[in-house]
Structure formats: C-alpha cells, structure tokens
C-alpha cells in the first residue's frame, strides 16, 4: 500500500508538472522578440529647478523566452537628447559608455500572471525586475499595462513612470561633470517610461533559446546618434572639450605609465581624432602641487607624451599630435583637498591654432 501511495504521488507530481509546462509553453510559445523600431523608452530630467527635458534611446533589443525570462538591453550610446553635443556629454560624462555601454533589464514573468490575457486582452500587472546600469544591479518593480494586439503582438507600457535615483547607480560624479560642462543644475533623479512592442517568434529560425538572457557583458557595435564621416570644426571642438572633462585617463602614482583602465576612453579619443582629419590636436598634461614644481613640470610633459604614444598605436599619426606639459601652473580646483588634487591631475585635449 505504501509503495502504491508513493507511486501515485509520483505520478501526480509528474502529471502536474506536465500540465504546468504545457500551460507555460502555451503562454510564451517559442518566445517573443522586441520590435525595436516600434518601441520607445524615455527618461526625464529637470534642469535649473523647473525646465523639464525628455530624452530617449534609439537602439534596444529584447526577448521573452519560452519560460518567461524577459530581457531588455538598451544601448546607451544611442541616447537621443535632440542636440549632438548634449548627446556626447551624456555618453562620455554621465553614462561613461566607453566603460559601461549598456543598461540591461531582466525579469521573470510568472505564466499565471498573464494566463488570462488572451481573454481579457488588456490588464495591469506589477512586475519585479532588475536593472543593471553603470556597474550596479538593483531590484525594482514597475506597474505595467499589457495589451494583446491580435495573436502575434503584445504591447508592454508603463502605467506610471519608474523613478530612479542617480546615487543608486554611482552616477553622482557623472551628474556633477554634466552640470559643470553645461553650466546648469540638474535634479539627481529621473523617471523612466516606455512603450514596448513584442512579436511572437515563429518557427525554428525565429525561436528564442530557452534561458537566453541578454547580459550587460554583451558588447554591441557602437550606435551613437551622430553624422557619419568627418566631424565639423564645431563638433570637433565640442568633443575635445568634453573629453577633457571625463577624468578617465589614469596613470600609476608619480609615474607617466598609463593605467590599463585608460584604454576604453583613449580608444574613443582615437576614433574622434580620426574623424577630425584636418586638425592638429594638443594634448596637455597637468598635475597637482604635491612635490616640486620642476618635477611636476617634467611629469606633466611625460604623461602627455604617453597619451600621444598610445594614440599612435591606434593608427593616429603622431604628426597630428602635440604633447604639452603645464605642471601645477593651471589648477582647476583647490590643491589643499584630495578631491581638488585629483581634479588637477588631468589630461586636456584641444585644437592647435
């Protein structure tokens, strides 16, 4: 009798699992794919106390696999503020896309949560999700409106904007750089809203692999919203000013040896120099006031030359680059504080007259 009961319980569990798996497959089928051209994601910022600006992203990919694992990947280089140099500031100073190219949202959709969607066509749900942004992963939740459009399309929209705090994603320093570059004050939080369209994957060619989650370590091709080909003089001048404000060029202490962490930004610098082909670029090194003035002068010159040497390895002709050193003579901050000294140790880019 005990064997029979165990056998019956095992059969029952197997049957329930099979029914659950069948229902789940019926809900998600072969998976769903984001229709990027038909989808939108916006965020708002408040400047100088009352000016509200809405920006968006042009490039997104997303999937929902047969098990309900959802992933949305946003290419941060595709930030669109409608102003070219403002886009560049957002990329290099705020998001630091040369180091953190993407934001990724992942979620697990419980099939029971949407089992009645084919009947009701439209419903509101609260969905927990994780957001990976600027090296930080945080658990959040969103109130969403799901709308079934026919049998092959589903719209996913925020019923109310999702609030995000700049400090939660280590973006406070980037916000400060943005404020200084644009000479504005910016509220250190934002709200995000979106309207996403997913289409049902059909056939083996379009099926989403079970468990396929797009992760923030996947590095896509660049998709910055800017004109192709060479930049105008104004665009070049603006970009070199922005690059000078990043603070992402690092050296070993009291040395002219570049730290490996400088590579991503300097690679981006090389690309911009290449697209300003008729210009000669000055690369200026600056130090804090720690140590003797003579030693700091020499160190600043050597550091500027190290940047020239690096760019030469990225197919930039050294004849287009001028290395200069100013030592401690041009501080931008107070040398009596560690923060001030860190800001004074910098590399600046400009166009030679």
Mean pLDDT of 220-244: 89
pLDDT computed for residue 207 by the predictor: 55
Say if residue 164 is in the same domain as residue 276: no
Residue 212 counted as domain residue: no
Domain boundary among 206, 225, 251: 206
- Pick from 141, 146, 145: nearest CA to 162: 141
Q: What percent of the chain has pLDDT over 70?
A: 87
Say if residue 130 is in the same domain as residue 258: no
Contact indicator for 240, 281 with CB cutoff of 8 Å: yes
**Which residue has better confidence, 141 or 15?**
141
Say if residue 37 is in the same domain as residue 161: yes
Q: How far apart are CA 187 and CA 121, in angstroms?
A: 38
Residue 15 counted as domain residue: no
User: CATH number of the domain that 242 lies in?
Assistant: 3.30.1330.60
Say if residue 43 is in the same domain as residue 86: yes
Mean pLDDT of all residues belonging to the chain: 89
3-state SS of 188-233?
Answer: CEEEEEEEEEEEECCHHHHCCCCCCCCCCCCCCCCCCCCCCCCCCH
Say if residue 150 is in the same domain as residue 285: no
Does the pLDDT of residue 19 top 70, yes or no?
Answer: no
pLDDT computed for residue 208 by the predictor: 63
Residue 7 counted as domain residue: no
pLDDT computed for residue 2 by the predictor: 41
Does the pLDDT of residue 204 top 80, yes or no?
Answer: no
Residue-wise pLDDT for 87-129, tens only, equals 999 999 999 999 999 999 999 999 999 989 989 999 999 999 9
Say if residue 287 is in the same domain as residue 185: no
Residue-wise pLDDT for 159-200, tens only, equals 999 999 999 999 999 999 999 999 999 999 999 999 999 999
Does the pLDDT of residue 310 top 50, yes or no?
Answer: yes
Say if residue 166 is in the same domain as residue 88: yes
pLDDT computed for residue 203 by the predictor: 60
Mean pLDDT of 336-345: 94
Say if residue 179 is in the same domain as residue 37: yes
pLDDT computed for residue 222 by the predictor: 60
Contact indicator for 352, 282 with CB cutoff of 8 Å: yes
Say if residue 48 is in the same domain as residue 122: yes
Q: What percent of the chain has pLDDT over 90?
A: 79
Contact indicator for 347, 249 with CB cutoff of 8 Å: yes
**Number of domains composing the chain:** 2
Contact indicator for 161, 190 with CB cutoff of 8 Å: no
Q: Is 311 helix (H, G, I), strand (E, B) or coil?
A: helix
Does the pLDDT of residue 240 top 70, yes or no?
Answer: yes
Residue 274 counted as domain residue: yes
Residue 169 counted as domain residue: yes
Say if residue 200 is in the same domain as residue 296: no
Split at pLDDT 50, 70, 90, the class of 8 is: low
pLDDT computed for residue 209 by the predictor: 59
Split at pLDDT 50, 70, 90, the class of 150 is: confident
Does the pLDDT of residue 22 top 50, yes or no?
Answer: no
Range of the domain at 263: 233-351
Does the pLDDT of residue 3 top 70, yes or no?
Answer: no
Residue 24 counted as domain residue: no
Does the pLDDT of residue 9 top 80, yes or no?
Answer: no
Mean pLDDT of 123-152: 95
Say if residue 46 is in the same domain as residue 191: yes
pLDDT computed for residue 16 by the predictor: 40
Residue-wise pLDDT for 254-303, tens only, equals 999 999 999 999 999 999 999 999 999 999 999 999 999 999 999 999 99
Say if residue 107 is in the same domain as residue 64: yes
Residue 237 counted as domain residue: yes
Residue 16 counted as domain residue: no
pLDDT computed for residue 18 by the predictor: 41
| Maximum Cα interatomic distance, the chain, rounded to a whole number of Å | 96
């Amino acid at each position: 009798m005990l064997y029979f009961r165990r056998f019956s319980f095992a059969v029952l569990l197997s049957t329930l699992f099979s029914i659950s798996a069948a229902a789940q497959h019926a809900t998600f089928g072969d998976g769903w794919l984001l229709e990027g051209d038909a989808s939108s994601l916006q965020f708002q910022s408040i400047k100088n106390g009352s000016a509200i600006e809405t920006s968006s992203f042009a490039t997104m990919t997303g999937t929902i696999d047969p098990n309900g694992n959802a992933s949305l990947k946003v290419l941060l280089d595709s930030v669109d503020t409608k102003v070219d140099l403002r886009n560049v500031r957002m990329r290099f100073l705020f998001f630091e896309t040369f180091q953190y190219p993407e934001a990724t949202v992942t979620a697990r959709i419980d099939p029971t949560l949407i089992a009645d969607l084919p009947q009701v066509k439209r419903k509101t749900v609260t969905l927990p999700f994780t957001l990976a942004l600027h090296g930080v992963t945080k658990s959040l939740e969103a109130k969403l409106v799901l709308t079934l459009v026919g049998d092959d399309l589903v719209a996913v929209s925020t019923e109310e904007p999702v609030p995000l705090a700049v400090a939660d994603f280590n973006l406070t320093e980037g916000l400060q750089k943005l404020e200084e570059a644009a000479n504005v004050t910016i509220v250190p939080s934002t709200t995000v809203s979106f309207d996403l369209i997913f289409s049902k994957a059909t056939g083996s060619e379009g099926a989403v692999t079970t468990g396929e989650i797009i992760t923030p370590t996947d590095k896509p091709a660049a998709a910055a919203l800017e004109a192709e080909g060479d930049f105008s003089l104004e665009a070049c001048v603006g970009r070199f000013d922005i690059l000078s404000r990043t603070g992402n060029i690092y050296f070993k202490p009291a040395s002219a040896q570049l730290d490996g962490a400088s590579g991503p930004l300097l690679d981006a610098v090389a690309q911009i120099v290449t697209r300003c082909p008729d210009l000669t670029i000055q690369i200026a090194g600056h130090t804090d006031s720690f140590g003797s003035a003579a030693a700091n002068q020499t160190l600043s010159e050597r550091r500027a030359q190290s940047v020239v040497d690096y760019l030469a390895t990225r197919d930039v002709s050294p004849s287009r680059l001028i290395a200069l050193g100013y030592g401690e003579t041009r501080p931008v901050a107070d040398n009596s504080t560690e923060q001030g000294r860190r800001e004074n140790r910098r590399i600046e880019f400009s166009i030679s007259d």
